[in-house]
Structure 1
Amino acid sequence: MLSQKTIDIVKSTAPVLEQRGKDITTHFYKSMFEAHPELLDIFNHANQEKGRQQTALANTVYAAAKYIDQLEVLIPAVTQIAHKHRSLAIKPEHYPIVGEYLLKAIKEVLGDAATDDIINAWAEAYGAIAQVFIDTEANMYKEASEQPGGWLDFKEFEVADKVEESSLITSFYLKPKDGVQLPDFQPGQYITVKFDIPGEKNIVNRQYSLSAAPNSEYYRISVKREADNQPEGKASNYLHDHVNKGDVIEVSAPAGDFYLDVDSDAPVTLISGGVGITPTMSMLETLAVKNSKREVVFIHAARNEEAHAFKEHTKQLVSELENARSFVAYGEKKNQETICDVEGHISAEFLKEVVPANSVCYICGPIPFMGAVIGHLKENGIPEEQIKFEFFGPAVQLS
C-alpha cells in the first residue's frame, strides 16, 4: 500500500510528465539498451525506430502518475500491455532493470527538478505498479502453458502452406512441429513470431493477428509486404521472400484482449482497413463455423481491388451466414468494371446507413483509418462501450 505522501508526490509530477514524458522515455530506452543490449532481442525494433514505443511508455507513465491513487483505472491498459509482454516472454527479472533506468532517466532529464523526494516516491510507485504487471502476467503464463496443448514462451512451428491473398498480403499456415493439437484461442488474438534473420545483430520479434477461426490443427497469419525502407519491412519482407513451405519458425501462444465475444447474441460489425482484415477475418470465419444467427456487417477498405485480400473468401463466408451483409471500400478504382460500395474514404453517412445502432463494432487498420471510423461511429451515436479496436503495435492516442 502506497503512503499518502508518495501518492501526493507522484500525482504532483503528472503535469511535467505530460510535457516531458517522451524525452524521459527516449533517454530511458537509449541508456537501458546501451547497458543491457540483450534486451534488444525482446523489444520490437521497428516501434523503437519510429518512436511509437517511447510515446506509448510516456503515456503509460503519465497515466500512472495521474491515477496512482486509483490503480483500478489502469487495469484495461495493464491487461493490454501484459498480453504483449507475455507473448514476448518478458519475465519478472526484467522489471528491476526497467525500474533502474526509468528512475535514472527521470533524474537525468528533469535535473534539479527531480528531487530526492520525487525519485524516492517514484521508486516506491514503480515497485507497486511493476508488481501488478508481474502478477497479471504470471496468471497469463499459467493459463497459456497449462491449457490442453499449451506451452510456455516459444515453440517450433512448420510452415505447412504459403498462399498469396492479394498483391500485398500473403498467408502462412503454421502447424506445430511436435504434432500436438493446438490450444483454443479467441478470434481476434495474435501470436508473436521470432526471427533470427541473417545479417541482423539481434533477434527480431513481430506480433501478427491470427486470420483464421480457432481450430486444433493450424494457425494462419496473413502478412503485408512493407516497403523495403520501412522498419516493419525487416520481418514482413523476410517472411515473403525467404520463409517457405517446410521451413520452421518459433511462435508464442496466442494473446491479446481484442477479440470477438462469441457468447453474445448482439449484432456485430467488423470494420477493417488494409491488413487490419486479419483479426476481423478470424472473427467472420468463427461466426460462419458456429452458424451464427447474429446480424453481421462486414466492411473492408482496401487501396484497390488488387490489394483486397480474402475477397472471394469473404463472399463465401457471408453467404453461409443467415443474417450477414458485406461492403467494400476502395481508395481508387483502377477501371470502370471495378465494383465497390464506397470509392474513397468511408463516411459517417455510409456507416449510419449500414451499421445497426445496437451493434458491437470491432475495428482494425491503420491508425488514421481507425481514428476516422471511430469518430464517425461516435458521431452516429454508437456508445463507446460498443466500440472495440486493435492497434498493430503500441497503443497511441487516436485523437
Structure 2
Amino acid sequence: LPFKALKRPWEIIENRVERGDTRTLILKPINHDGFSFQSGQFAWIKSGKTPFGPGQHPISLSSSGDLETGGTIQFTIKNLGDWSGAEVPALKPGDRVWVDGPYGVFSLDRKPAMGYVFIAGGVGITPLYAMMRTMVEREDVRPVYLFYGAANSEKMMLKEEIEELIASAENLNMVFVPVLSNPEEGWAGETGYINAEIMSKYVPRQYKWYKYLICGPKPLMDAMEESLPALGIPPENVLSERFDMI
C-alpha cells in the first residue's frame, strides 16, 4: 500500500451478511477525514494487525459518492477466495483496516449521456448499484435500464437493495431486468443470458445515444462485444470494466 494509506486507518462499524454469499462492510475513518470519491470507483483494503506486508485487495465502493454520512464508506464483497471467504467474515465492529483510494475511471460523471444502460454480472453489480444510488440522491430523471445476469435469484448480490432503491424513486426512470441462467421453479422473468434480443425488449428507440456501462466477468464482457454491435451501439458509447478479481 502507498505510504499515505498507512496513515489512514478505518474502523469496522458493521459487517452485514447479504444475499449471494456476500458481505457489506461499513467503515468510519480513525482520526482523519476519509476521502471523497465518485460512484463506480474502487479502493484497496488491507486487513490484519499491521498495514505492512502483502494482502491488499481492490474492492468497489458500494456507497454513493454524493452521500454525506459522517465520512463512512461501504464495500460489498463477494466470497471469491481465502481473504473474502475467511478474513472478511471474521471482521467485527471495532476492528481496524487500512484503505487506500479512490482509484478507477469507471464513473457515472465521466460518461454524461441522455440515458444509461447498465449491464452487470456477478460482483460487477457493485459499482453500478453505487451509481444508481447517486442518481436517486440527485433526483436525476435520466432513464436507467439495469440488466443483471446471475444463475438464480439467490446468487443476485444486492437484489433487495436495488428493488428498494427503485421503489423509493418512483418519480425517476429506472428499470431493473434480472436475467437468470438457471432460474428457480416459478420464475417469470427473463431467462438465459443477457443479449441483444432481451435488451431490445426494454430499451427504447433512442438506445443508440445512451451510454452503456458494463461490469462483470469475462464471459459477460465477451457476449456484450457481440450483442452491442448487433444493436448498432457506437463503440464510443460503451464503457466496460472486467471484475474477475474485485
Q: Distance in 2 between matches of 1:204 and 1:273?
A: 25
Q: What's the CA shift for 1:167?
A: 3.2
Question: Residues 197 and 348 of structure 1: is their aligned pair in 2 closer, same or farther, counting only changes over 3 Å?
Answer: farther
Post-superposition CA distance 1:268-320 (Å, at most 9, x none): 11111011111001101000010001011111112211111222221222230
**TM-score when normalising by structure 2:** 0.87
Question: Residues 291 and 247 of structure 1: is their aligned pair in 2 closer, same or farther, counting only changes over 3 Å?
Answer: same
Q: Secondary structure at the match of 2:182?
A: coil
Q: Distance in 2 between matches of 1:238 and 1:156?
A: 21
Q: What's the CA shift for 1:221?
A: 0.8
Q: Of the candidates 9, 16, 31, which is equivalent to residue 163 of structure 1?
A: 16
Q: Describe how 1:191-206 pairs up with structure 2 within 5 A.
A: 191-196=43-48, 202-206=53-57
Q: Of the candidates 196, 205, 209, which is equivalent to residue 348 of structure 1?
A: 196
| Amino acid aligned to 1:237 | G
2:41 pairs with 1:189: yes
Q: Of the candidates 172, 175, 181, which is equivalent to residue 28 of structure 2?
A: 175
- Aligned partner of 1:328 in structure 2 is 178
Unaligned runs of 5+ in 1: 1-87, 91-151, 227-232, 395-399
Q: Which segment is superposed worse, 319-328 or 379-388?
A: 319-328
Q: Distance in 2 between matches of 1:237 and 1:310?
A: 18
- Aligned partner of 1:260 in structure 2 is 108
- Aligned partner of 1:78 in structure 2 is none
Q: Distance in 1 between matches of 2:90 and 2:10?
A: 16
Q: What's the CA shift for 1:263?
A: 8.0
Aligned residues: 235
Q: Which segment is superposed worse, 257-266 or 180-189?
A: 257-266
Q: Of the candidates 270, 273, 290, which is equivalent to residue 121 of structure 2?
A: 273
Post-superposition CA distance 1:105-126 (Å, at most 9, x none): xxxxxxxxxxxxxxxxxxxxxx
Q: Distance in 1 between matches of 2:106 and 2:60?
A: 10
- Aligned partner of 1:89 in structure 2 is 2
Is 2:106–2:239's contact at 8 Å kept on the other side of the alignment?
yes
| Amino acid aligned to 1:189 | Q
2:213 pairs with 1:300: no
| Amino acid aligned to 2:149 | A
Is 1:195–1:235's contact at 8 Å kept on the other side of the alignment?
no
Question: Residues 257 and 265 of structure 1: is their aligned pair in 2 closer, same or farther, counting only changes over 3 Å?
Answer: closer
Q: What's the CA shift for 1:326?
A: 1.0
Q: Secondary structure at the match of 1:241?
A: helix
Q: Distance in 2 between matches of 1:350 and 1:306?
A: 21
2:233 pairs with 1:382: yes
Which has the larger share of helix? 1
Q: What's the CA shift for 1:375?
A: 2.2
Q: Of the candidates 70, 73, 77, which is equivalent to residue 219 of structure 1?
A: 73
Root-mean-square deviation (CA, aligned residues, Å) is 2.3
Q: What's the CA shift for 1:197?
A: 8.3
Q: What's the CA shift for 1:262?
A: 6.8
Q: Distance in 2 between matches of 1:393 and 1:224?
A: 11
**TM-score when normalising by structure 1:** 0.55
